[in-house]
Amino acid sequence: MQDNNTIKNLFASIDNKNVEEFTSFLDDNCCFRFGNLPALTGADEIGNFVSGFFDSIESLQHEISDFWSISSGIVCHGAVSYTRRDMSILTVPFSNIFKIKNDKIYEYLIFADTSQLYSSY
């Protein structure tokens, strides 16, 4: 999993709002944390959360600017644009840490400030 194409495929599954494909990258016992929200454990629980998140927005698009392979996984940085239901767009920087074992993500940490995503626009 530790190559640029796999990460591009992971983000493509997110940007396509394809929960089934997205969860295929995760270990069954993956720990997932999105910003300052409580951590979730397990591909099913993560899939349910991500499905609800996808339903709450019109679309999203990631642009990865940096990518680093480290001994235990991958770190990437870029910008994500969220299109809200009213078609307004919020773009914020993000960084992700993926800890990987046996070609599956077992820890997935998202660092992004989405506090304005659902606020009045």
Q: Please give the CATH architecture assigned to the domain spanning 4-112.
A: Roll (3.10)
Q: Give per-residue pLDDT as tens, 81-116.
A: 999 999 999 999 999 999 999 999 999 999 999 999
Contact between 76 and 66 under an 8 Å Cβ cutoff? The reply is yes
Contact between 66 and 93 under an 8 Å Cβ cutoff? The reply is no
Domain ranges of the chain: 4-112
pTM of the model: 0.92
Contact between 98 and 105 under an 8 Å Cβ cutoff? The reply is yes
Averaged pLDDT in 10-residue chunks for the chain of 121 residues: 77 98 97 96 97 97 94 95 96 97 95 89 51
CA angle 46, 116, 12 (to 5 degrees): 45
Contact between 14 and 26 under an 8 Å Cβ cutoff? The reply is no
Question: Which helix (H) or strand (E) covers residue 58, if one does?
Answer: none
